[in-house]
Amino acid sequence: MYKGWCTPQKLPRDEKELSSFVSFHVFTKVALFVAFVQPQFLLVRVLGFILRHLCPVSIKQPEDQGRNPKNSLRTQKLLVHLRFTRVPKKSPFQYFHDPKTFTNCYTAEQSPHPSKISCSKKIRVQLKIRSGGHDYEGISYVSDVPFVILDMFNLRSIKVNIKDETAWVQSGATLGELYYKIWRKSKVHGYPAGVGPTVGVGGHISGAGYGNLLRKFGLTVDNVVDAQIVDAKGRVLDRKAMGEDLFWAIRGGGGASFGVVLAYKIKLVRVPPVVTVFRIAKTLEENVTDIVHRWQFVANKIDENLFVRLLVQPATKTKTNSAKKSDNKGQTVRVTFIALFLGDANGLLSVTKAQFPELGLTKQDCIEMSWIQSVLYWANFKNGTSEKVLLDRKLDSESFFKRKSDYLKTPIPKDRLEGLWRKVIELGKAGLVFNAYGGKMSRISESDTPFPHRDGNIFKIQYFANWKEEGAKAEKKYIEQTRALYSYMTPYVSKNPREAYLNYRDLDIGTTNNGKNTYNEAKVYGLKYFKGNFDRLVKVKTAIDPENFFRNEQSIPPLPS
């Protein structure tokens, strides 16, 4: 459950003070701050003093901020606040925004200096690494022990080379910025990553990010050809220097377990000049059960140029639908089919009529556009919105939410789907997202990258609940709704292990306190995220970071010594 804000104990009085106060968030290339548990307030002061002397502050303002220098104080403060909109409101920790307790342990250069990377090690303070701040459990910037955050927010250079169809993109860049820079260079190139423009590249790729191009081109990690990482010794390593084992691990195993990933070199993919999208909503009263039941049999087999996401959520009946027979007293389930097809509308209709006629797709449902326009469409921007909106780095929501994940390998019987709809109506808020698999991503071996959920999966399931009410009562209510849906689905999803997706972080499936029993603790969630790849990840971790400096509540552990 996430929402929160950072309120400084003493606000800066003018632009100059604000620049110094928030430079580690907004202005410097690499930025750190220290956050501590509330009862240890005195320790905060002491460690802040030690950090400042071990790691002298070096604040620089880069030449090109990509922002209007006349931005108001209010706007700049808002940017800082929005970086923390996913901090749990009810939690055993609190951020202290006092300039005296902050230190920038890293210079504004491209990479951390070896003497600076050892800063946290010297005082045994945990290091958290954040690129976009979208971690579903907030563990990239939240802890119940003293810690330092390495905020990659402004390490955001993107260099696109259309000649060899590659791009170097730094970890702090957002997907929106990446898509925009690619589009500026070429109208027929793209990258198979997520649909959220404000998601940070570093966390997204290192956790095996995916998007609506996965069936045609695979995952993000299937299109990475090089990387730069800083290891626990402060060395800056590229693919050749780090070796193939570490390069394998940071393409889906979670980069924060192994070091600080500075940048990835990605392989661009070719997209057609015209793509087609559609969004169709069906309810129980419109025969949606039969449509979804049939979809399970074709989702991972249909033409790989087509990706369809199903959004399942409770809804209120319309006047038209309420006139039809139903036992649900004004409530129904709405399933929205959201799609991208790499081709024109005629090509899409030929596919759906041949392979999925049950949907009843018509020419009027289809919208032809360019690939970059489809990026805006999937991000829920209005038609006609300028592509420059992709450069907006502000998070688009301050609501609380909870997420969980599953994998479906065999179709759910029709009567069980009806039971699922009743459960969704009963709970009243929680819903599900079905993301179709198949295509290229399923033809790649599950051991090629740490991401193992490939052949044999019909689709991935995401359970979700969003809410705006504050307080423990609302939090408990909606989190329990997602858990109830997850529990209902137990008979129909993967087993031994019940698989989960790393980028849909879920602390319900296990955590480690990084103590003496960390390997056994980590194995519980590690097998769910990585299946048989977990042990290889552990071996890589043992080789690169045997002291477990890079750690979090769901990190990869080293082998016991």
Residues catalogued as catalytic: 504
Sign (positive/negative) of CA torsion 299, 305, 311, 316?
Answer: negative
Which residue is it, tokens 């010594």?
Answer: 561
d(CA 310, CA 446): 25
Count CB-CB contacts under 10 A for residue 50: 15
Rounded to a whole number of angstroms, the distance between the first and last alpha carbons of the chain is 36
CA 393 vs CA 17, 24, 186, 208: distances in Å: 23, 16, 22, 21
> Of 123, 216, 213, 229, nearest to 175 (Cα)?
213
Map 140-152 to HEC letters.
CCCCCCCEEEEEC
> Of 180, 183, 79, nearest to 133 (Cα)?
79
Spacing of C-alpha 422 from chain mean position? 30
Which residue is it, tokens 């419109």?
Answer: 286
d(CA 510, CA 557): 14
DSSP assignment of 53-83, as one string?
A: HHS-------S--SS-TT--HHHHHHHHHHT
Q: How many residues does the chain have?
A: 561
Residues 432-464: b if buried by 16+ CB within 10 A, e if exposed: bbbbbbbbbbbebebebbbbbbbeebbbbbbbb
Helix, strand, coil shares of the chain as percentages rounded to 5? Answer: 35, 20, 45
Structure tokens at 251: 């393409």
Count CB-CB contacts under 10 A for residue 217: 23
d(CA 505, CA 141): 14
Parallel, antiparallel, or unpaired: how do β-strands 126-130 and 147-151 relate?
Answer: parallel
Q: Crossing angle for the helix pair 288-298 and 414-427, nearest 10 degrees? A: 120
d(CA 552, CA 559): 16
Provide the 3-class DSSP secondary structure of residue 315.
strand
CA 219 vs CA 108, 212, 463, 490: distances in Å: 32, 10, 21, 26
d(CA 169, CA 501): 24
Count CB-CB contacts under 10 A for residue 392: 13
d(CA 528, CA 532): 9
CA 278 vs CA 438, 520, 534: distances in Å: 20, 46, 38
